[in-house]
Amino acid sequence: MKFTPAQPALTGETLDTLTEKLRERGEPAFRAKQILDWLYKKRVGEWDQMTSLPKPLRAWLAETFDLLPAALVLNKQSTDVTDKLLLGLRDQSLIETVIIRVPQEGVGLEHSRKTICISTQVGCAMGCVFCASGLDGLKRDLSAGEIVAQLLQVCQIEDARTPRARAELASFDNIVVMGMGEPLANYDALIRALTIVNAPWGLGFGARRITISTSGLVPKILKLADEPLGFRLAISLHGATDAVREKIMPVNKAYPLAKLIPAVRAFSEKHGRMVTLEFILIAGVNDALEQAEKLRDLARDLHAHVNLIPYNTVAGLPWERPSITRQERFAEVLRRARISVTLRREKGHDIDAACGQLRLQTEKAREN
């Protein structure tokens, strides 16, 4: 389940760990910052481009570290608003990273709201019945370096789109940890990676603009509440009662709503910010008005935002999204109670990108 690469990734090093490794080699302390600047600020793709470093040091770095442990295999631009990147890792595993650009009313695409969706595992062990990522179970956790590398790949794509100005990661509005895998099941690598993403010597991206989505691992939600960096939290609820939720999300057996809801409350009280409840609408499964009423009560009680997502069909799975009328009726129950709610419109079918599907198609093609 664990993959030990020949060389650790440079993208998995913190300023402290890199400083220590360089110190052991007798290098001055300022070198670590210099190297991380080449990686994250100047974003070079080769060791020899780190021209301010002495040649022997560059040679040692090349022997010791993997500069970027994820290579671009495919960029599937399904529309002009999404880029789905398929990345290949050193053990040939595939992961997905998605760029989503949502144009704002009345302005051009260059002013769109830009979000990056990153993965934390190859596959997923949680077994939610509607999800493409979990169909083949968990292959392995990603390392911190592999999580960070996804963002450097995104920077390269953006750099190519806007050749005149090197597009900083800061030009993105949000990072959402909603790709393949259950982030809180790979907790230590996740926190290390996001620490690097947030740090001024790293990618310098604000913690408040990073959302971690979880299927509901209660002890880890409580642990996350105690982290010094204030990441945002989204809960994949998808059922407003245990009866409905446990039919589609096995995690509900270990952590039913009676455990999950107090953990979410504890998190939002500590952080003083709204948590998001995600609710995929699946026809005939969780789209009854009684579910909407229960969801309304939970959201009111938690002072949470609700994100309704019409289900994206997955090849080989029987689930479908409800009709627009039914989606609207469901949303109306929440709106009437003045719950903060978003229902993604038709464009979302493409935008949501249903992480995990691109990898699944490619894995299948490999087998044939």
What φ, ψ does residue 277 adopt, rounded to 5°? -100, 120
Burial of residue 121 (CB within 10 Å: 0-12, 13-18, 19+) is buried
**What SS3 class is residue 18?**
helix
Binding mask 199-238 for ligand SF4 (x = CB under 6 A): ----------------x--------------------x--
Count CB-CB contacts under 10 A for residue 25: 11
Single out the residue of 8, 12, 69, 134 in contact with ligand SF4 (rule: CB under 6 A). Answer: 134
CA 186 to chain centre: 12
Sign of CA dihedral 156, 159, 163, 168: negative
Out of ligand SAH, ligand SF4, none, which partner does residue 352 contact, by CB within 5 to 8 A per kind? ligand SAH
Binding mask 170-189 for ligand SF4 (x = CB under 6 A): -----------xx-------
Least distance (Å) between residue 108 CB and ligand SF4: 34
Burial of residue 7 (CB within 10 Å: 0-12, 13-18, 19+) is middle
Out of ligand SAH, ligand SF4, none, which partner does residue 8 contact, by CB within 5 to 8 A per kind? none
Q: How far apart are CA 326 and CA 118, in angstroms?
A: 31
The DSSP annotation for 237-258 comes to ---SSHHHHHHH-THHHHS-HH
Element (H, E) at 30: helix 30-40
Residues near ligand SAH, by CB under 6 A: 130-131, 178, 182, 213-215, 236, 238, 278, 280, 309, 311-312, 314, 352, 354
Least distance (Å) between residue 354 CB and ligand SAH: 4
Single out the residue of 117, 124, 149, 277 in contact with ligand SF4 (rule: CB under 6 A). Answer: 124
Annotated active-site residue 96? The verdict is yes
For ligand SF4, the closer CB: 50 or 185: 185
For ligand SF4, the closer CB: 96 or 158: 96
Tell me which residues are annotated as active site.
Answer: 96, 355
Can you give the binding site for ligand SF4, defined by CB under 6 A?
A: 124, 126, 128, 131, 133-134, 181-182, 215, 236
